[in-house]
Structure 1
Amino acid sequence: MSTFVIRSQHSLTCGWSVNCEQVGVSYVNSRVNNTQNIQLPPQFTNYIRVSEVELVSFEIISDLVQYSVLISAKMSKPLNTLCDMLETYGGRDKVMKALCYSAKLVAGLQAKKNPELAKKFGTFSSKISGARATLRLVDDFPMLQYSLEYGLGKSEPDRTMSILGVLANIVDHIYYPVEKICWLAEHNLINVQDPDKWDVINSVFWVMSIYLNLMRENIEKILARQRMEIITIVRLTLDFTHAVSTLPKGWLWGGRLETWHVGLIGTTSAAIGIYQFIKKRSKH
């Protein structure tokens, strides 16, 4: 056994004794005051090369351990939430949407100040948007399942809601094939006579889909005055504003929004979507 001396005016409480015993330190008294001798096992002499250690160092190490445990506990919850989101298709799409439109926002704000930086963020936004469109290629099957389960909307509280629900499903079933044609044409996998025309048709059905779902939310949820559903209406309104902006000039406010406007709208919508996802998961 090798002897090391602790010199301090502080005291070592019983709580510390447990920690010391865990690393092989033995002593007689449960409280150490002033100067006491502590025996260390021989294997510790390979790591400890000092003859005097201040007790304050033990206190600092303990505090650091406690703080690290607290920080780890605080970080684990948001990390787990993020991982839970990324494990689902809808959650991952929300994260990618946030990345896409936040990058577009930066690109729009830096367009005049730093064109090179704006170009990089614009490219990043475009690639993420393309990845989201690629993942939507197989959305037809979940949509078909939902439509079959929904049927004629018999579960809705009134006939108006049922009609809106059925119309929204029909529009979505037209929208997805049109989007696929646009995707295939964009990647030169098929030849179409007027690609821009298909893009306009795609935007029209996108606008119609969001509008119908927005009307459903307005009728059903505003009357209920539920906070989370009102937030959904705000998100759908933002998506509707964005969707209309993709229409040609002369169609409502189509083509009038600047890049940073679209980025801000999209980022806000994505943030609301992520917030709703987290709140929904926290309830289960």
Structure 2
Amino acid sequence: MDGLTLQIALRKWCELLDVHAGRDKILRITGYICTLISDLPGTRDTPVSKKILIVGRQISNSRTINRLLDDLPMLNRTLSYGVGSNEKDQIIRISNLISNAINTCYYPLEHIAWLGDQGVLAVESKSFWRAVSYCWASTMYLAIVRTVRTISMLVQHRRHTMHSGKPSDSECMKFRRGMIQELLSLIQQMSDMGLAVNSIPGFLWGGKLKPRHTGFLGIVSTFISIAKLLRLVP
């Protein structure tokens, strides 16, 4: 690796660390790496595994504390989207409206659960954490619906273009880029959906995934989101 490549890599890394979303993704992927390593053969049920899990839990706690500041940005996104009057597709519009409503409730619920864990509020935090998990799983399901709908629209547009005549090179490139982006988003969302459902014991596969499975899903999901932040996705 030459000096120029190292310089570019360092610049990209600093770009990631200079924004809140980037730091959160770095913490997230580090936490899931800890979860994965702790359950690998050779480290599972060892003192090293326990230490790695402690690091992972502390990283997760730090992300929860950082999200105490996310209420206003989420409210701003919800208000900016409004009723989605600029959205052309009704399925995407309705799913976005529902997601915005759920996400607006997500953060206050998480704050109450966290305050319950700390003993600040006299509440049963488990019930609130379960509600948080349901919110997460619901928004991931709706995100998958939107992505599948977008892929369907891309394919329909491609077929219409093919029937109208031979598509240009720029149209073909645009279609390929769109498909790659949406398929990566689908993989990311399905990974997060797996994690969200696993956090709800007794619901579908809730509580049945091994730490190595959750670690792998979290790494895949976060790696894709980091690639998007760094604009590495074509």
TM range (shorter): 0.7 to 0.9
Question: Aligned runs of 1:88-237 on 2, under 5 Å?
Answer: 88-110=19-41, 113=44, 115-192=46-123, 194-224=124-154, 226-237=179-190
Q: Give me the TM-score of the superposition, normalised by structure 2.
A: 0.85
Which residue among 257, 273, 279 is the counterpart of 2:225? Answer: 273
The amino acid across from 2:53 in the alignment is G
2:39 alignment partner, SS class: helix
Does the Cα contact within 8 Å between 1:93 and 1:132 map onto a contact in 2? yes
Which residue of the partner structure matches residue 206 of structure 2? Answer: 254
- Structure number having the greater strand percentage: 1
1:109 alignment partner, SS class: coil
Report how far residue 221 of structure 1 moved: 3.5
Report how far residue 110 of structure 1 moved: 4.9
Does the Cα contact within 8 Å between 1:110 and 1:118 map onto a contact in 2? no
Report how far residue 113 of structure 1 moved: 4.6
What fraction of aligned residue pairs are identical, expressed as a percent? 28
Root mean square deviation of aligned Cα: 1.8
Query: Is residue 2:171 matched to residue 1:241?
Result: no
Report how far residue 78 of structure 1 moved: 0.7
Q: Give me the TM-score of the superposition, normalised by structure 1.
A: 0.70
Runs (5+) with no aligned partner, structure 1: 1-69
Deviations 1:111-133 (A, max 9, x none): 76551111011011101111111
Does the Cα contact within 8 Å between 1:245 and 1:257 map onto a contact in 2? yes
- Structure number having the greater helix percentage: 2
1:153 alignment partner, SS class: coil
**Change in CA separation of 1:222 and 1:100 when aligned onto 2, cut-off 3 Å:** farther
1:155 alignment partner, SS class: coil
Does the Cα contact within 8 Å between 1:110 and 1:117 map onto a contact in 2? no
2:83 alignment partner, SS class: coil
Does the Cα contact within 8 Å between 1:161 and 1:216 map onto a contact in 2? yes
Distance 2:57 2:87 in 1: 39
1:226 alignment partner, SS class: helix
Distance 2:151 2:85 in 1: 18
Deviations 1:53-91 (A, max 9, x none): xxxxxxxxxxxxxxxxx7322211111101000111111
**Change in CA separation of 1:114 and 1:198 when aligned onto 2, cut-off 3 Å:** closer
Does the Cα contact within 8 Å between 2:201 and 2:207 map onto a contact in 1? yes
The amino acid across from 2:195 in the alignment is H
Runs (5+) with no aligned partner, structure 2: 155-177
